[in-house]
Amino acid sequence: MTSLDPTLAALVRAQTGVTWSRARALCAEGRVSIDGQPCLDPAVRVPPGAVVTVDRAARKIRARALSENAIVHFDRDIVVVDKPAGMLSVADVTGNRNTLADHLRTLLRSLDSHGPDAPLGVVHRLDKDTSGVMVFARTTPAKRILAAQFRAHDVQRIYHALAHGTVAEAHVESYLARDRGDGLRGSLPALRGGQAVDEAAAKRAVTQIRPIAQLSGATLVECSLETGRQHQIRIHLAELGHPLLGERVYIRDLAGERIDAPRTMLHAHTLGLMHPRTGQSMIFRRDAPEDFRSMIEALS
Does the annotation count 127 as an active-site position? yes
Closest CA to 256 of 245, 248, 272, 267: 245
Strands (DSSP E) found in the chain: 32-34, 37-38, 52-54, 71-74, 78-83, 121-122, 131-137, 156-164, 170-177, 186-187, 202-214, 218-225, 266-274, 281-285
Q: Are strands 121-122 and 78-83 parallel, antiparallel or unpaired?
A: unpaired
Closest CA to 266 of 280, 297, 245, 249: 245
Catalytic hit among 82, 127, 129, 291 = 127
Question: DSSP secondary-structure letter at 244?
Answer: B
Q: For residue 159, give the amino acid letter.
A: Y
Q: Give the up-direction half-sphere exposure of residue 142: CA atoms within 13 A in the CB hemisphere.
A: 23
Closest CA to 186 of 245, 222, 254, 238: 238
DSSP bridge partners of 272: 156, 283
Q: Which residues form the catalytic set?
A: 127
